C-alpha cells in the first residue's frame, strides 16, 4: 500500500502541475489543502465536485485514515480519504475541483477505487513532510 500511496501522490503532483500549466488552476497562489484534522472533523460531509462540463457531483467523505507510524517525524501527515459518489457519472482518475462550505474550494487528485455495492468510491492520499 505504501508504494501505491507514493505513486498516487507523485501522479497527483504531476497532474496538478499540468493543470496549472494549462491555466485550469490559477498560478498566483498554490492552494493550501486541508489537513487530517480538518477532513476528520467533516466525516460524512458532502464535497461537491465540479466536472469539466460544469456538472456538480456530490462526493460524501466516507472514511479518513491516519497512516502515520511511530517513527514519523513530528508534523508529518500521512493519511487517506475515501469518498463515495453517485452511480453516474463515473469520474476519471485525475485532479478535480472540490468544494466544502467550511473548507472552501481546492483541487484534489482522486483515484477510482473498488465499488461498495452500487456506489463508486474514490481515494485521495496525502503525504506531507513538516515545513
Question: What is the enclosing helix (H) or strand (E) of 111?
Answer: strand 104-112
Least confident stretch, 13-17, 30-34, 47-51, 113-117: 13-17
Q: What phi and psi values does residue 21 have, to the nearest 5 degrees?
A: -65, -25
Tens-digit pLDDT profile for residues 41-82: 999 999 999 888 878 999 999 999 999 988 888 888 999 999
When divided into structural domains, the chain yields a total of: 1
The model's pTM is 0.74
d(CA 108, CA 28): 18
Is the torsion defined by CA of 119, 1, 3, 103 positive or negative? positive
Beta carbons within 8 Å of 115's beta carbon, 6+ residues apart: 121
Cβ atoms within 10 Å of 91's Cβ, excluding its own = 18
Please determine, for residue 85, whether its predicted confidence score (pLDDT) is greater than 80: yes
Cβ atoms within 10 Å of 97's Cβ, excluding its own = 17
Predicted local confidence at residue 30, as pLDDT: 58
Residue-number span of the structural domain to which 63 is assigned: 2-128
Q: How far apart are the first and last CA of the chain?
A: 25
* pLDDT class of 3 with cuts at 50, 70, 90: very low
Amino acid at each position: 500500500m505504501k508504494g501505491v500511496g507514493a505513486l498516487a501522490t507523485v501522479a497527483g503532483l504531476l497532474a496538478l502541475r499540468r493543470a496549472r500549466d494549462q491555466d485550469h488552476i490559477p498560478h498566483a497562489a498554490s492552494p493550501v489543502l486541508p489537513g487530517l484534522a480538518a477532513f476528520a472533523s467533516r466525516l460524512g460531509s458532502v464535497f461537491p465536485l465540479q466536472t469539466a462540463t460544469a456538472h456538480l457531483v456530490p462526493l460524501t467523505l466516507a472514511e479518513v485514515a491516519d497512516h502515520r507510524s511511530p517513527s514519523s517525524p513530528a508534523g508529518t501527515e500521512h493519511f487517506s480519504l475515501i469518498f463515495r459518489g453517485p452511480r453516474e457519472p463515473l469520474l476519471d482518475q485525475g485532479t478535480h475541483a472540490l468544494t466544502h462550505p467550511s473548507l472552501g474550494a481546492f483541487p484534489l487528485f482522486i483515484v477510482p477505487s473498488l465499488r461498495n455495492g452500487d456506489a463508486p468510491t474514490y481515494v485521495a492520499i496525502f503525504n506531507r513532510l513538516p515545513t
